[in-house]
Chain A
Amino acid sequence: MSEFQILHEKSPVFYDVYERKSEMQHQTHYCPGCGHGVAHKLIAEALAELGLQDRAIVVSPVGCSVFAYYYFDTGNVQAAHGRAPAAATALKRSNPESIVISYQGDGDLAAIGTAEIVHAANRGENICVFFVNNSIYGMTGGQMAPTTLVGQVSTTTPWGRRANNEGFPLHVSEMLATLEAPAYIERVALSNAKNVMKARKAIRKALENQKNGNGFSLVEILSPCPTILKMDPVVTRHWVDETLTAAFPLGVYRDKKAEIPVVLPPQKSVEAVVGISAKPAATLEERAARHAHTRELSIKIAGFGGQGVLLLGQLIAEMGLREHMEVSWLPSYGPEMRSGSAHCHVNLSHERIGSPLITRPQVIMAMNEISLRKFASTLAPGGLIIYNRDKLPEGFTAENARIVCVPASEIADGLGSAKVANVVMLGALLEETECLPPETVVQVLKDTVRNEKMLALDMKALEAGRMYVHSKVQVGAVSGPDGFSY
């Protein structure tokens, strides 16, 4: 078979009767001499020749060609102004076997949709974009397009486009050809028979590319718009051939198979990915029996970002969960990552938890002096403060509070890593309150800390925190208005 098949009838990719149109319209809705009809015909013929009609989805834009679905007997999706490449991206990825065509005008693609076309091209989406550039907004009555030539009169450039006011015409093909991913970019013109044949070849090539999985193809089609340019159809074609083509040179801007490495993540079962194990959930009775031995507490943990404040809260919540309690962990979150203030609220409860926000904590774990001063006044009467120092700061008082001073950071440094100060604090909390059983605590640490060295250090830190409090207990000690420290 020769390269081109000569058709003497309408392509089967066109509907026989355009029933989606109003019955009052007997013609296509395009103006006489408009390039859309020719472009549509070339696409329909190529789809038929390549046997892609059943697989094709035409995404029509906003603009004159919004009604492309009147004509194409293919799957049709109509997209918002400028967004056809985004919709096409997901259509293609949803059904990789489909042949997705984004058909766009210059306002749609080169003005409102520049972000979408640049990024779809840059991702190398395996779609075809047919970009009809007629240098003007057609459907809305002749306003300036990004492709309007300098000096060209439009309804919004009544004195001609002035580069100092509206900038220069946007050269989409040249611009996209600077990207790594696109496979094929060519600019053609519907200006004379020879150029139409070249356009036909380009459109076919773009579709073949997609069929073969070569990646992103864009054909920019310079097209006549006699009505809006206010020229007769023949004159318009000459204008495209001479003036428009001079500003937008025809030719191939990119032609290579995109070499995009494919990296696939490991595949797992749904159960493994979302964390469902075969182990049945504990019954309410079982839960009640377990958590009866665990103390109900509301804990606020505060310090600098980087001190393990949030992680400590998560560990305590996880321990409560293992004891079948109701738990909640609420962080303060901010744009700062390290050295900003960080605090979290942890509730351990036997009942459904109402507000996860703790305003009157029973326990405050203050990792630094700022936190101690900031939150001590919020402590519930008779509550406990665990402070990360060997003694309280000068002049600090907290009425009706039990205060345990533990130099957790110092102890952690002595163990070899400042990182485990939070676990020293945890040890102190457990020794002081006996809120959670030791075996659960150890198990949670084992399950959470994957690094063996770190785990060994954490176990030492836990013990050190416990021992510090244990060895300093003063039997019969009474708290004074300034609290007391062990």
Chain B
Amino acid sequence: MRQLCKGNVAVVKAAILAGCRSYYGYPITPASEIAEYSALLIPQVGGTFLQAESEVSAINMVYGAAAAGKRVMTASSGPGVSLMQEGISYLAGAELPCVIVDVVRGGPGLGNIAPEQSDYFCAVKGGGHGCYRNIVLAPASVQEMADLTVLAFELADKYRNPAFLLTDGFVGQMMEPLELEVKDVKEYEKAWAVRGTAETRQNFVSSIQLEPDALEAHVRKLEAKYKACEAAEIRYETYMAEDADVLLVGYGIVSRILRSTIDQARAQGLKVGLFRPITLWPYPSKALAEAASKCQKVMVVELSTGQMVEDVRLAVNGAVPVEFYGRVGGNVPSVEEIYAELCSRVAAMV
């Protein structure tokens, strides 16, 4: 049965369906509903919700719960995610699975509470110290907030790695129809977990490797794991990209606006298509390069001054020109605005 549901609430419900019974977090707009609904719902199914004293503490509680073998989640936004970065580096170093939801707001600093996509770097490029990667999924609808939350838990366990749901104030705050079903969520054996039992007594969770050779071996092992993830977990979506002269690239809420822009452009006879990465890491570079190779121009639209565009440029590798259009501060470009940008850039192209 379809229910009208807020994006942030969909995350919590999907997490419960995915077997998550542990939530540790600290409230921040526009992610607070995730904490609120976790507090309301998770204890009713026998789970743990705890509001930590800070994001620093919250992410280290996530570390503890993950070390204990639990499916665990936290959620935050911009300034809070900055505070969590130390812990995320430790989670990655200790190979602990967890799901971190970042409902991005305007930055830097306190910024504002309106939607942006300016946490791309800190989710996709690491953010904390050391050579590590987060798995990063970017939902564009309430339904995807749920579906990708379930996927995030599975991928986190599969790769023993933190997985991000990178979304924004719009997708988090909007309501749309949501269809949920009880799924058989894949369980992963966690023989490595430290549970305080005779069977797990020998287990040890840590990210410290004092010997240079040992640490190098560990980092190389992580690197191999990331390569395997890159080979298997790429997800993206295209819309009218087959015969497009101009390829629009955007993720999350922007991809929705681009879809409407494309409908408008096509009605005017402009051959425009969409490439929408769903996994921001691993990034669908090959697929994007291939889609771009059939076009004359690529235009990236983001709610930032240009973060993902760097990955697009790397993927396209100079084969076609890459334009960028971004709005920040919580300003979300309208279809009309993007269409006008598109027309002026297409005109420049011809």
Contacts and interface: CB of A to CB of B under 8 A. Distances in A.
Interface string B319-330: 000000000000
A22 B211 CA distance: 9
B60 A275 contact: no
A95 B177 CA distance: 37
Interface in B154-213: 169-170, 173-177, 179-182, 194-198, 200-208, 211
Contacts of A53: 201
Contacts of A55: 196-197
Contacts of A276: 1, 180-182
B182 A268 contact: no
A94 B2 contact: no
B270 interface: no
Contact of B196 (A100, A280, A314, A360): A100
B135 interface: no
Nearest to A53: B201
A90 B62 contact: yes
Interface string A204-246: 0000000000000000000000000000000000000000000
Interface string A259-281: 00000111111110111110111
Of listed A97, A98, A269, residue having the most chain B CB within 10 A:
A98
B335 A267 contact: no
Of listed B43, B176, B202, residue having the most chain A CB within 10 A:
B176
A326 B142 CA distance: 12
Contacts of B317: none
B268 interface: no
B61 A95 contact: no
Contacts of B53: 115-116, 118-119
B64 interface: yes
A280 B43 CA distance: 27
Given A75-B195, A333-B30, A355-B257, A274 B65 contact: no
B43 to A, nearest CB: 5
Interface string A92-110: 0111011110000000000
Given A79-B63, A273-B45, A330-B173, A54 B86 contact: no
Of listed A20, A276, A335, residue having the most chain B CB within 10 A:
A276
- Give the interface size class of chain B: 35 or more
B273 interface: no
- Give the interface size class of chain A: 35 or more
B219 interface: no
B56 A83 contact: yes
Nearest to A91: B64
B13 A274 contact: yes
B307 interface: no
B293 interface: no
Nearest to B179: A281
B96 to A, nearest CB: 10
Interface string B73-96: 000000000000011001000100
Given A87-B67, A94-B22, A279 B1 contact: yes
A54 B177 contact: no
Contacts of B67: 77, 87, 91
Interface string A75-90: 1111110010011111
Interface in B250-291: 253, 256-257, 259-261, 263
A34 interface: no
B174 A69 contact: no
Given A80-B63, A357-B170, A116 B57 contact: yes
A314 B4 CA distance: 8
Of listed A74, A75, A277, A326, residue having the most chain B CB within 10 A:
A75
A75 B200 contact: yes
A40 to B, nearest CB: 16
Contact of A334 (B4, B87, B113): B113
B178 to A, nearest CB: 9
A20 B65 CA distance: 24
Interface in B88-143: 90, 94, 113
A75 B201 contact: yes
B195 to A, nearest CB: 5
A93 B48 contact: yes
A87 B197 CA distance: 18
B40 to A, nearest CB: 8
A115 B24 CA distance: 16
B29 interface: yes
B64 A90 contact: yes
A329 B4 contact: yes
A458 interface: no
B46 A267 contact: yes
Given A54-B197, A91-B64, A356-B174, 13 more contacts: A75-B197, A76-B205, A77-B206, A83-B56, A91-B68, A97-B197, A115-B53, A276-B180, A281-B2, A318-B4, A321-B4, A326-B177, A327-B4
Interface of A: 20, 22, 53-57, 59, 66, 69, 73-80, 83, 86-91, 93-95, 97-100, 115-116, 118-119, 264-271, 273-277, 279-282, 314, 317-318, 321, 326-331, 333-335, 353-357, 359-360
Interface of B: 1-5, 13-14, 16-17, 22, 24, 29-30, 41, 43-46, 48, 50, 52-54, 56-58, 60-65, 67-70, 72, 86-87, 90, 94, 113, 169-170, 173-177, 179-182, 194-198, 200-208, 211, 253, 256-257, 259-261, 263, 332, 334-336
6 contacts: A59-B64, A77-B194, A78-B208, A86-B60, A327-B175, A357-B332
